[in-house]
Structure 1
Amino acid sequence: MTTSSVDDAGRLLDAFDSEQLGARLRQLREERGLTLKEVGRRLGISTSAVSQIERGVLRPSVNRLFAFVTALDASLVDVFGGPEPVDAPPVLDGYVVRRAVEAEVVRLAGGVVFRRLSPGPSRDVDFFESTYPPGSTGSSSSAQNDLLTHVGYEIGTVTQGELTIDFPDERVVVRAGDTVSYACGTPHRLSNQSDGVTVATWVIVHPADAGRP
């Protein structure tokens, strides 16, 4: 994919609005033969709420998005991946460049933005950037049971601002230049408790036996 104009860049940056994100989630669900009711059961929400997310009526939080893709036995990169074949062999004798304006963007509840950094989809690794406006959080509430769990191992570094990470028994604050890693099965919640914008880059490594389609 190549981009040569400001208009093209604008279209890419506006990609994955609520309706497009919902449509992609619906596509992933249907590809796996799952009903709205079954996904709702896995998420612990109503069938109506699942339908509203898929129709773009509700914009999910970060936690809800991760929970949704986990319920689908998918990953964040699958949301970005679109029609690109995840089984494509790696480029061994060349290289792949993805320009900044070509990176797919997902905008979530509370103004949180995810941007895919990997130049192509992969079954094993997700590589992305997250931007948290002041006061934003990965979930819709501060309840302890709103802590997130998903599949894999997560490694992140803060490149701007500071990020607060809540674990079941501890709160950790990481600042620009700091790195954090943890098993994604450890309950956690990310938020920006500061007055400035926080930006972090993340690598999520998926286990080989995760059973992803």
Structure 2
Amino acid sequence: MRRGNGRESHVLHDIGTRLKERRVAAGMSLREMAREADVSPSFLSQIENGKSQPSVATLFSFASILGVKIDELFDDAAGGASAPEVPVMEVGDGQERDPARIWNNSAYTNRISLIHPSHRAQIAVAHGVHWERLAATPETSCNFMKLVYEPGSTSTEGGETVVHDGYEYGYILSGEFEVTIGNEVFVLREGESIGFDCSIPHVFRNIGDVPVEGIWFIHGTHINGTPGHRPTA
């Protein structure tokens, strides 16, 4: 079994802390939320205390129950470090100015998200699945992420399919990614992409010997992580 490093332990604790904060703010007891999410109270307690990892489907379920975006459970500070400062050219010196500075001085400051690679909010979920948020905006129906699946990892506990509102779009950077949608099974490799209606039962799996990395965009009004009811091929 792959051992979690210090960074993963921090992320697990952060997810649990944020989950508990939002549960309490919503006025829900631990038992009530566990019942709605179809998990045991002890398991939810372990998640909130950073001792257990929720599956992707369970995270979606929690977010839906609490009425929040999935990335609101991410570690915004990525370990508490502040973003590195970058040099900024003066206007009129004939050289390109740093994009971050240009945006910060613009009328669009609150509508633009710029994230340095070392400061991306992350979630490490069960089965060796990692998410990195690539942009944070007020748009509650969108999630723009980099996915990393370790060899043999799947998107859900036991490989069951899930359904939810919206659409998903993905682009594979490396590895071999098996995507099951309904009764169709696709194997995606570097440079290949896919888009699909999330109301169709689906599940992902890394079938290769190296990590799968991909860029993923999920667009939908409410992501609820409801288990799929139709068997996959």
For normalisation by structure 1, the TM-score amounts to 0.77
Count residues in correspondence: 189
* Partner SS for 2:46: helix
Alignment match of 1:26 (pick from 12, 20, 32): 20
> What is the rounded CA distance, in whole Å, between the counterparts of 2:49 and 2:32 in structure 1?
17
Instruction: Give the aligned partner of residue 44 of structure 1.
Output: 38
Instruction: Give the aligned partner of residue 116 of structure 1.
Output: 133
C-alpha spacing 1:193/1:56, structure 2 compared with 1 (3 Å): same
> What is the rounded CA distance, in whole Å, between the counterparts of 2:114 and 2:181 in structure 1?
36
* Partner SS for 1:141: helix
Q: What residue ranges of structure 2 are gaps of 5+ in the alignment?
A: 1-5, 78-105, 224-233
Q: What residue ranges of structure 1 are gaps of 5+ in the alignment?
A: 1-10, 84-90
Shift in Å, 1:125: 1.5
> What is the rounded CA distance, in whole Å, between the counterparts of 1:97 and 1:78 in structure 2?
17
Shift in Å, 1:188: 1.1
* Partner SS for 1:17: helix
Find out whether 1:53 has 2:47 as its counterpart.
yes
Find out whether 1:98 has 2:92 as its counterpart.
no
Shift in Å, 1:155: 1.1
Shift in Å, 1:82: 5.4
> What is the rounded CA distance, in whole Å, between the counterparts of 1:74 and 1:135 in structure 2?
30
For normalisation by structure 2, the TM-score amounts to 0.71
Alignment match of 1:201 (pick from 215, 218, 221): 215
Shift in Å, 1:15: 7.9
> What is the rounded CA distance, in whole Å, between the counterparts of 1:111 and 1:57 in structure 2?
15
Instruction: Give the aligned partner of residue 173 of structure 1.
Output: 187
| Pairwise CA RMSD | 2.6
CA contact (8 A) 2:120 2:132 kept: yes
C-alpha spacing 1:40/1:28, structure 2 compared with 1 (3 Å): same
Amino acid at match of 1:193: I
> What is the rounded CA distance, in whole Å, between the counterparts of 1:58 and 1:15 in structure 2?
10
